[in-house]
Amino acid sequence: MQDAVRVEQLSKSYGRLLAADNINLSVTSGTVFGLLGANGAGKSTIIECILGTKKADGGKISVLGMNPLTDRKKLFEKVGVQFQETNYQDQITVAELCEVTASLYRDPADPNDLLARFGIAHKLKSLVRDLSGGQRQRLFIVLALIPGPKVVFLDELTTGLDAKVRREVWKILSGLKEKGLTIFLTSHFMDEVKALCDQICILKKGKIAFLGTISEAVKASPCHSFEDAYLWYTDEEGQTDENF
């Protein structure tokens, strides 16, 4: 099967800080890929380099076989992105933000359908800033799905959602995956990663500490659970102990 995302020897540094050090990874079409790591491990840098909003110092990147810097217009017809920050106009309503977003694409999905599926259709007339954290988070997933994408990038997808809504979001995303959507996500919740991801990449200080499936991650570590294995790979456990 074709790779939806391919990253070869990506490196990026800010001054002397090496935020991404020789990163190689690929995401098979129709799978869910999780990029994990502590804050500052380089997740956002890698996503931004893949998307072309940051220029890599070196390496080769292709998404759907295209170069995100030179084929921007064509590529982003088929790629949806949800950023961590909340970037919308101060006085804009849900309906307006959806309408404008849909107008950017040649063949967009119907925003109203998506809003209904994510349970926020009744919020159409509200200002985006008046939504609760969870509603806003769901709205941003909706925006990322409006292009009718082949690949979607979700940065900290369910932060701020309650347990019930998170499960609903997972269900919808799993359904979209069944239909062939490739999902590239970052998350801090190991239950979420376990529920969704086919492949994971654990980062530590800009380097890949582990790349493979969840069961491989557990097997290759001295731990029995995935959460312990994750902490073992990122060394967070040791650090927490020292703090005590």
Partner 1 sequence: MKTFKTMLKTELKLSLRGLDMFIFAICLPLVVLVILGILYGDRPAYEGADHTFLEQSFGALAAISICAGGVMGLPLVVSDYRGKGILKRYQVTPVDPSMILLVQVTIYTLYAVVSLLLLYFAAVLFFGCQFHGTLPVFFGGYLLMVVSMFSIGMMVGGVAPNTKAAGVMASILYFPMLIFSGATLPYEVMPASLQKIADILPLTHGIKLLKAASLGSSADDMLIPLIIMSVIALFCISISLKCFKWE
Name the site residues for partner 1 (rule: CB under 8 A).
51-53, 72-74, 76-77, 79, 81, 83, 85-92, 96, 99-101, 103-106, 147
Query: With b meaning 16 or more CB within 10 Å and e meaning fewer, what string describes 9-35?
Result: ebbbeeeeebbbbebebebeebbbbbb
Nearer of residues 51 and 139 to partner 1, judged by Cβ: 51
Nearer of residues 83 and 210 to partner 1, judged by Cβ: 83
Phi, psi of 179 (to 5 degrees): -85, 5
Q: Closest separation between CB of residue 8 and partner 1, Å? A: 21
**Residues 70, 84: Cα–Cα separation, whole Å:** 24
**Residues 50, 62: Cα–Cα separation, whole Å:** 8
Q: Closest separation between CB of residue 100 and partner 1, Å? A: 5
Which tokens belong to 219? 């097997």
Instruction: Sheet containing 58-63: give its strands across.
Output: 17-28, 3-14, 58-63
Nearest to 49 by CA among 23, 26, 87: 23
Nearer of residues 37 and 147 to partner 1, judged by Cβ: 147
Nearer of residues 51 and 120 to partner 1, judged by Cβ: 51
Nearer of residues 9 and 53 to partner 1, judged by Cβ: 53
Q: Closest separation between CB of residue 52 and partner 1, Å? A: 7
**Residues 193, 137: Cα–Cα separation, whole Å:** 18
Q: Closest separation between CB of residue 64 and partner 1, Å? A: 13
Q: Closest separation between CB of residue 103 and partner 1, Å? A: 4
